[in-house]
Amino acid sequence: MRDSFVGPFTIIKLIWKNAVEVRMTEEFSKKHPVFPTTTPPDIVELEDSPGPVKKIINARKIRLNGKDQRQYLVRLRNQTADKYKWLAENARPDGNLHPRRFRASKRTEQSHQ
């Protein structure tokens, strides 16, 4: 492997303390699947759930598959302020996505202007 950081690969098993066997993709199928390592790589959790919502920043309507869909720009808990994500109205990972409260706060802001 010329590139020192390619992947991610799934670790099949730990061989001793300084080597791992990985499941190779088709592109690297001719390579030997055991690699030396000084420290195990960080574990990357692959999940679809975006995590708990801290605050709704903005809202928009988009047309998806011929239907209008409302999305909310949210800030996730335990993330930096620049990590915003658009979530569909029905995608409530933890139940803290409160679109009614958000829309009500926008109405009161507009009435005070």
pLDDT in tens, 35-52: 887 765 666 665 555 567
CATH 2.40.50 fits 48-94, yes or no: yes
Please choose, from the candidates 26, 28, 27, 22, the residue with its C-alpha nearest in 3D space to the C-alpha of residue 9: 22
For residue 36, list its beta bridge partners. 19
Where exactly are the structural domains of the chain?
1-46, 48-94
pTM of the model: 0.43
pLDDT in tens, 48-79: 555 677 778 888 888 888 888 888 888 877 77
Cis peptide before 52 (omega within 30 of 0): no
User: 75, 87 in Cβ contact below 8 A?
Assistant: no
